[in-house]
Every structure is written in structure tokens, then in C-alpha cells.
Structure 1
């Protein structure tokens, strides 16, 4: 997750100049003003399957017909696959093949080697998606995500455009810019990073390891202040934090973003390409919520998306968009599908 203030004040430095010139091309749909977010998922996910893919034994759920257009939905931190319980059911009913994997460090996903580096950098998570698609014999898919999952979906669409049929990205383009992250931010924006600075310290790492579930519940509440999730909803997702690699992946992810931890050399070329902010050509719908603050109009990242594009704004919705607004997230996937040249 990223702080609200960081998104609203720091996003402009993360995208190449020229976005404002193209902002008039963005289509913004009416804001959400209807029902309150559901307190708990209305649908249950299917049984967890396991498949060896790249460096991982990936846990995932699957719904819908085997011959439907593949949709891969990627969760964020500190959440899990249950963010998509309702979205998955909606899309499966409409004929999509929906796959929802646990990211590395969550749920039943495990490293195949005990010696593998517990790496949380963005290129590694992107490579995980490609390995999963290869293992499942999926050539192209619609990708959807928020938080870590949204970043990962953008990474895949940037580096492997031939594998991405369409994209639904909450908060738009949030690919990490390491150079920009080394620059100081205004005090209000820096305040929004509090947990990242906490993770940068030995005390913070120990605190997260000892208090993972209480810590993550605080993040849920602060990132979605109008979402009155119930204990059952939180407990469903909190079980995913029991993964033995969870804390290692989380701590490395945030330290790597601040250049306080090294990534792996195998991803250097990918990170260099991402630093150049390659344009994303896949049909895309970006979604902004209250969490995005002043950046919710989407103009800061409009220039990145050069294919068919829409931007949607959801008011009174926090960070966990697919769980808080499942109908709207599913509708974006359906609409992206309609934008694809079949």
C-alpha cells in the first residue's frame, strides 16, 4: 500500500511530463453515490488449487468456464484473494474464466526452494504472473489489480504487452520509480508513508512480525475509513498472513522501494525498462477512489495509456476497491473486454 498523501502529492513526479496535455482525452464515468460497501463477501471462493510456476508453488482459485476469456485478478497488501470473492462470482456468471492467485508471501503460495531470496520487488512479482500464465497455458489474459496487484498488472502490461489483452488498474500507473522515491517529499506527503519508514527500521520489522494481524487491520481501517468491514471479512484475509514468507516479502518490498534493500540482478533489465516508463498499449480502464486524494482525476498518468482508455472515479470508496465496490470493478472488466479487438 501507499500513503494517501504520497499519492496525491507525489504522483506527479512518478510519470513523465505531458500527461496534462492528454488529460482531456480521458473519459471519466459518474462517481459512485449509491450503496455502502458490503461488510463481508457475499460469495465464497472455490477450492484452492496449487500449481508450480516459476519460482513458486502458487495457490489460486478458479471460477467460470474453462474456455472463457481468462481474467487474472491480483490482490494487494495487506489483503488477499478474498478481495475478489464477489467480483469472481460476477465475472464467472458472465462467462469469464477467472483466476485469483495468492501473491508470493500470502496464503498457500510457497517458494519451491528454501534458498530462494524472498524478494518483494515489482519486477519479481510481474515475472510471477507470467510464470503462472505459462503454467496454466494461458497466452493472453485481462489483468486486474489494486495496490501491489495494480502495480504488478501495470508491470506485466509494460514488459510483456503481448500477454495482456486488457487492463483494469486501480489508482492507475503506480509502478515504482526508484529515482523519484529518493527525493524528499513535503511533510504532509511524508506523513502518509509512516508505515514504510517504520518498516525501514529493525524495530519496525520486529513489530510487524509480532503484530502482523493487528497492524494490517489498522491499515484496512485507515485506508478505507468508510468501509465497515466485519470481523468475518477480516479474518478470511488475515489467515493469508500466516505464510512463513509473508513478513520477509513485505519488509523487502518497502525497503526496496526506498533503495534500502537490493533486488536481484536477474530483474535488472526489467527494472531498467520500467524506469523508462514504457507506454501501455492494452485497452485499459483505470479506477480511482477516495484513497487517491487529489490524484483521483487520473491526469497524472493519462499519458502512459496509449490504447483504448477510460478513467472512472468512485466516491466514498477506499483502497480495497474490488471488495468495497465489486459490481463496479466487475463492470470495468466487462467493459475492457468490450474494448478488445476480438
Structure 2
């Protein structure tokens, strides 16, 4: 297996509450695309996607999310929230700090959720959306509604993190927690130990454990949200639609989220939309199938340039 080089150089910018570390590539005057990673992953999910998109003329920005890598809080008094409203607000604040008026947003897992939140709440700032596993805004009001047992089993870490034993386990060995999740989320992905080692360095952030634990406890109704995001969470409780052009992706080898034809989520997308199923891809789709993910970003740009039409699906 060819060893991939790390995403360099890294830059820093300050928002209202964070010093955000990000990778930048491509022409400065190109259409901006923000590539947003998930948990337990980092910016290297886009190690192959970023240069592909730069080659297609995109101005590419790949930030470390709050609690990951060198992205740090400016004040010790800021609540270390991992709730969905915080992730979306961080995207908007980063765009403001970088002087980006409008951008394409693309992500999976936490990053896909942040992209969906931003596109739903501030669509005037979003040119288009690429989201793995479709509409990812959490229906926290339905947190007590059970899923089929097989799905629940794949979410073992959700429940582990509800306990202080889980907090201690994550703090003690975040790399091993990530390894188990990677293997179960992406059973066909033959990642190398050095890929995991590189990403695990992002877990050394001093706020990593607090933010991860809060994220899972909040989404299941076991922790309150931060006061600063109460109004945004109230808006998200209504499951607002995404009105911008969108391409949604499902990996056919995703160990936790079985691929669908996209129709169940169609009501949440009121702009033009394509849905695709990607062979051989697990949950970390951009790292496992970078060409397919980069193609989706190019396709959403093309979709935006077309006249708006009805929702479409493609297998």
C-alpha cells in the first residue's frame, strides 16, 4: 500500500471562540468547498480528495473540527459542546473569518451533520451540499425511539459514552476506540496502522474527550445543550429542509448505515438532488473512495449550474 503524505501546509484563523487549524489547496479565486471530517477521524479523510478537487479548480478548505488536532478554544470558560448546533455554527464562523461569502459544503458523519445544519439554517451562504448518509440533522426529540437491534448494536459507543466508564475508556485509549469503530464502520476498508496512527494524533487535543462525550450524551437526551446554541437547537428541532442543490451518498459497505435509494430522506431536500450508492465504500467514504467523493462535489457544482428540477436518484 502506497503511503499517503499528510495534508500540509496547515494554516490558522481565529473565529469568535476558536483558533481553527485548516489545510488549504487550489486556486484562491476558485469556488470554495469546505471538506468536513467525522468522528473518530480527522482531516486526512480528505488526503486524496483535496488534491483532486484542487485540480478541478476548487479552492479547498479542510478544517479540524472543534476538539480535534490543533483547533483549540480561545477561552477556558467556553462550554466544550459537541452538539450539532455548535458544529454548524463553527462552519459559519469559519467562513466569516476567512472572508468566504458562499461555499460548497461536503462531509460525512459529524462533518456531514455540520454541513447539513449550515445548509438548512443559512442556505444563503451555501452553494451546494454533499452529504454521506443523506440528511443528518438529529431529531433529538425522538432520541428515546429505538432502532432495530442490529443497528443499535453498531452504535455500541453511543451507550458506552453515556457512562463514566466510557469517558475514562475514551480518555485512556482513543486510538483503540477509533480502531474498533473504523473496523465496524468500514468492514471492507483495508486501512494501514499508519493511517490510524496519523489520525490518532488529532485525538491528543485537550478538549477531545469532553466534546465527544457531550456530543453523544446530548444527542441521546442525557446532557443539556450550551445556552449559546439554544435558539439554533430550537430551529433544528423542526428538522428544517435543505433547499440548496445536494448530492447524497451511501456506501454499499457501510457497517452501520445500510445503503438506501435515498427516497426516505427526499422530503428533507427541497432543492435539486442526486443520490448515489458507492460500491466498496464504508462510513469513511471520502478516504475509502476519494474519486467518488470528489466526483460528487463536481456534480453538485454542475447541478447548481442547471435549472432547478425535481429530485433525482442514481444507483
* TM norm. shorter chain > 0.5: yes
Does 2:276 match 1:308? no
Distance, in Å, in 1 between the alignment partners of 2:38 and 2:150 is 24
Gaps of 5+ in 1: 1-38
Q: CA deviation at 1:293?
A: 4.5
Q: Does structure 2 conserve the Cα–Cα contact (< 8 Å) formed by 1:82 and 1:237?
A: yes
Q: Does structure 1 conserve the Cα–Cα contact (< 8 Å) formed by 2:25 and 2:60?
A: yes
Does 2:117 match 1:155? yes
Does 2:308 match 1:328? no
1:58 match: secondary structure = strand
Distance, in Å, in 1 between the alignment partners of 2:63 and 2:32 is 13
Q: CA deviation at 1:78?
A: 0.3
1:201 to 163, 167, 172: 163
Alignment partner, residue 32 of structure 1: none
Distance, in Å, in 2 between the alignment partners of 1:234 and 1:300 is 34
Distance, in Å, in 1 between the alignment partners of 2:48 and 2:297 is 13
Distance, in Å, in 1 between the alignment partners of 2:187 and 2:3 is 18
Q: Does structure 1 conserve the Cα–Cα contact (< 8 Å) formed by 2:69 and 2:201?
A: yes
Distance, in Å, in 1 between the alignment partners of 2:8 and 2:101 is 23
Instruction: Give the alignment of 1:203-222 within 5 angstroms.
Output: 203-222=165-184
2:160 match: secondary structure = helix
**Residue deviations 1:99-125, cap 9 Å, x none?**
000000000000000111100000011
Q: CA deviation at 1:42?
A: 4.2
Alignment partner, residue 103 of structure 1: 65
2:191 to 212, 229, 232: 229
Distance, in Å, in 1 between the alignment partners of 2:21 and 2:284 is 21
Q: CA deviation at 1:203?
A: 0.8
**Residue deviations 1:245-275, cap 9 Å, x none?**
0000000000001111111122122111111
Aligned pair count reads 304
Distance, in Å, in 2 between the alignment partners of 1:298 and 1:41 is 35
Structure 2 length-normalised TM? 0.93
Does 2:202 match 1:240? yes
**Residue deviations 1:135-168, cap 9 Å, x none?**
0000000000000000110000000000100000
Distance, in Å, in 1 between the alignment partners of 2:272 and 2:239 is 18
1:209 match: secondary structure = helix
Alignment partner, residue 120 of structure 1: 82
Alignment partner, residue 33 of structure 1: none
2:249 to 287, 290, 293: 287
1:130 to 63, 82, 92: 92
CA RMSD of aligned residues (A): 1.4
Q: CA deviation at 1:329?
A: 0.4
Distance, in Å, in 2 between the alignment partners of 1:199 and 1:266 is 23
Bigger mean CA offset, 169-178 vs 265-274: 265-274
Gaps of 5+ in 2: 307-315
Q: CA deviation at 1:341?
A: 3.8
Alignment partner, residue 31 of structure 1: none
Q: Does structure 1 conserve the Cα–Cα contact (< 8 Å) formed by 2:127 and 2:244?
A: yes
Distance, in Å, in 2 between the alignment partners of 1:157 and 1:288 is 19
Distance, in Å, in 2 between the alignment partners of 1:326 and 1:131 is 27
Structure 1 length-normalised TM? 0.86
Q: Does structure 1 conserve the Cα–Cα contact (< 8 Å) formed by 2:249 and 2:275?
A: yes
Q: CA deviation at 1:41?
A: 6.4
Higher relative contact order (CA 8 A, sep 6+): 1
**Residue deviations 1:153-188, cap 9 Å, x none?**
000000000010000000000211111112233433
Distance, in Å, in 2 between the alignment partners of 1:285 and 1:324 is 18
